[in-house]
């Protein structure tokens, strides 16, 4: 579905009956042709964000810096009259709220998104020597295709706490002159018949996803594990940490791949983890740039990729407790749950984009095409809509009215064929508050791979949609 059925300069040659009764789908590039330069510029800024922020902690810090630059105040420093407030939870969640004229009593407009991405986490005892290598022992995070991560340059991001409890930030492998880490694959010459017949899931086992960390033995005859010593000495020289410190660390390997334009027309952005950095970025920018008299919220959460569990996930009470704390500060007699029950929500998340090579996995009548605008998914989950959210018709009608009034290209679909599979988002956890909520974001190709693809015009249409959501009367 698109908001505007007429493209400037083109004659609509459909029959009267078709115009009255049929839906029509047009490229968002055509519908937003006058905003093409703005869409391209928006993605250039987004690419800078992608290349600089990979972990949850980094995204929270980026959001905090941007919020403070635009007049937001930490909840610890806020007063009853503060209009722009942010709150951080365990360095992995952030909530931004801009209070409108009605405060919290009439609810909020809230966009929630997740900032955890697919990665490989270092185990607590991560370094071992297997001559001629020092290897990094890893545990994959989230729903990956394990073979995707072979032969990919990997960078390390995270934090380490030493025995004194001091925090050390680690970022290694993003600069051109810094080393990267690699999980090597078997050469095809040695696969044999057995290897050629392996299912994709068996190409490499999770326990074998270990990366090469070092190869040069240290020049110390007394050391038994000389290559492991080379690795540990590097980290001790650079970060002042020892092997014992890895037990109190959160270190992960991410694809050390810069965002790039894709296609001769540069119409798409290729990068690791559009899911779900794209919606998180857009949500924060939309809240800051929108103009509205009503209260609006952005919520960035962790752990969505592993089922939204833990004290930094959507299952935690961070959202509810923070809103209640602000209400008490303002002396508004309302609970966090009451605020949320009166709110309207968007679960900002990506969805599957139609790929011609895998057309048999999708319903041709209910799929989202890259380049056709922001995708609205009424229902998520899998099979019989298990473990998902299913927005009611009244709310979809409201969303539809918002998008069409703002002339935003949009489409509606499902992640794939009914019995093919599927997935959930944080929508059902927002909905538990009796809040109306629907999933909305750009369609993505190669989701959960080290290099995902998203259309620049869909990214821009999502920005326009989120901004309209905050502003729509």
- Whether the predicted pLDDT of 4 surpasses 50: no
Q: Average pLDDT, stretch 388-402?
A: 96
Looking at residue 6, its pLDDT comes to 53
Quote the percentage of the chain above a pLDDT of 70.
98
Helices 56-69 + 36-52 axis angle, to 10: 120
- pLDDT bracket for residue 276 (50, 70, 90): very high
Q: Is 220 exposed, middle or buried (0-12, 13-18, 19+ CB in 10 A)?
A: exposed
d(CA 307, CA 115) in angstroms, rounded, equals 13
Q: Average pLDDT, stretch 297-306?
A: 98
Q: Are strands 249-255 and 296-301 parallel, antiparallel or unpaired?
A: unpaired
3-state helix/strand/coil string of 266-308: CCEEEECCHHHHHHHHHHHHHHHHCCCCCCEEEEEECCHHHCC
d(CA 98, CA 78) in angstroms, rounded, equals 12
Instruction: Yes or no: say if 119 and 141 are a contact pair by the CB < 8 Å rule.
Output: yes
User: Between vectors from CA 103 to CA 83 and to CA 341, what angle results, nearest 5°?
Assistant: 130
Residue 386 is classified by DSSP as B
d(CA 299, CA 320) in angstroms, rounded, equals 11
**Number of neighbours of residue 22 by Cβ within 10 angstroms:** 9
pLDDT tens, position by position, 366-384:
999 999 999 999 999 889 9
- Whether the predicted pLDDT of 11 surpasses 80: no
pLDDT tens, position by position, 136-180:
999 999 999 999 999 999 999 999 999 999 999 999 999 999 999
Residue 437 is classified by DSSP as E
pLDDT tens, position by position, 183-221:
999 999 998 878 788 898 889 999 999 999 999 999 999
Looking at residue 413, its pLDDT comes to 92
Quote the percentage of the chain above a pLDDT of 90.
90
**Number of neighbours of residue 455 by Cβ within 10 angstroms:** 28
Q: DSSP letters of 317-348? A: SHHHHHHHHHHHHTT----HHHHHHT-EEEEE
Task: Output phi, psi for 397, to 5 deg.
Answer: -60, -40
What six digits make up the tokens of 381?
A: 């989950």
Looking at residue 422, its pLDDT comes to 87
Q: Are strands 351-352 and 443-445 parallel, antiparallel or unpaired?
A: parallel
Looking at residue 388, its pLDDT comes to 87
d(CA 349, CA 109) in angstroms, rounded, equals 16
Instruction: Yes or no: say if 100 and 230 are a contact pair by the CB < 8 Å rule.
Output: no
Instruction: Yes or no: say if 323 and 128 are a contact pair by the CB < 8 Å rule.
Output: no
Q: What is the mean pLDDT of the chain?
A: 95
Residue 19 is classified by DSSP as H
Q: Average pLDDT, stretch 12-33?
A: 90
Q: Could you tell me the domains of the chain?
A: 16-117+272-471 (3.40.630.10), 119-255 (2.30.250.10)
pLDDT tens, position by position, 225-253:
999 999 999 999 999 999 999 999 999 99
Among candidates 307, 316, 358, which has minimal Cα distance to 336? 316
């Amino acid at each position: 579905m698109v908001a505007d059925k007429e493209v400037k300069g083109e004659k609509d040659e459909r029959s009267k009956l078709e115009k009255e009764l049929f839906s029509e789908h047009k490229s968002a590039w055509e519908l937003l042709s006058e905003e093409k330069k703005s869409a391209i510029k928006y993605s250039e800024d987004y690419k800078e964000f992608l290349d600089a922020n990979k972990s949850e902690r980094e995204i929270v810090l980026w959001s905090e810096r941007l919020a403070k630059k635009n007049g937001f105040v930490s909840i610890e420093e806020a007063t009853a009259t503060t209009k722009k407030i942010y709150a951080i939870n365990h360095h992995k969640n952030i909530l931004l709220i801009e209070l409108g004229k009605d405060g919290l009593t009439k609810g909020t407009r809230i966009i929630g998104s997740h900032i955890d991405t697919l990665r490989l986490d270092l185990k607590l005892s991560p370094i071992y020597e297997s001559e001629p290598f020092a290897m990094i022992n890893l545990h994959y995070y989230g729903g990956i295709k394990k073979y995707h991560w072979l032969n990919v340059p990997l960078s390390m991001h995270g934090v380490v706490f030493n025995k004194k409890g001091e925090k050390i930030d680690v970022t290694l492998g993003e600069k051109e002159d810094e080393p990267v880490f690699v999980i090597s694959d078997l050469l095809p010459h040695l696969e044999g018949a057995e290897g050629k017949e392996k299912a994709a899931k068996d190409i490499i086992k999770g326990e074998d996803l270990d990366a090469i960390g070092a190869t040069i033995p240290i020049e110390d005859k007394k050391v038994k594990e000389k290559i492991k010593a080379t690795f540990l000495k590097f980290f001790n020289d650079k970060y002042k940490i020892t092997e014992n410190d890895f037990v109190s660390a959160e270190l992960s390997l991410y694809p050390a791949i810069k965002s790039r334009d894709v296609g001769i027309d540069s119409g798409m952005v290729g990068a690791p983890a559009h899911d779900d950095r794209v919606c998180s970025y857009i949500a924060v920018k939309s809240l800051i740039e929108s103009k509205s008299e009503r209260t609006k919220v952005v919520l960035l959460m962790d752990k969505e990729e592993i089922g939204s569990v833990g004290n930094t996930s959507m299952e935690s009470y961070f959202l509810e407790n923070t809103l209640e704390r602000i209400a008490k500060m303002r002396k508004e007699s309302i609970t966090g749950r009451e605020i949320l029950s009166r709110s309207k929500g968007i679960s900002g998340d990506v969805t599957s984009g139609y790929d011609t090579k895998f057309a048999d996995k999708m319903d041709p009548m209910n799929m989202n095409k890259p380049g056709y605008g922001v995708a609205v998914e009424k229902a998520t989950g899998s099979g019989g809509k298990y473990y998902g959210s299913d927005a009611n018709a009244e709310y979809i009608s409201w969303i539809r009215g918002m998008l069409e009034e703002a002339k935003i290209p949009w489409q509606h679909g499902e992640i794939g064929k009914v019995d093919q599979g599927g997935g959930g988002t944080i929508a059902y956890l927002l909905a538990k508050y009796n809040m109306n909520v629907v999933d909305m974001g750009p369609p993505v190709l190669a989701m959960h791979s080290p290099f995902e693809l998203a259309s620049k015009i869909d990214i821009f249409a999502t920005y326009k949609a989120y901004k309209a959501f905050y502003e729509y009367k």
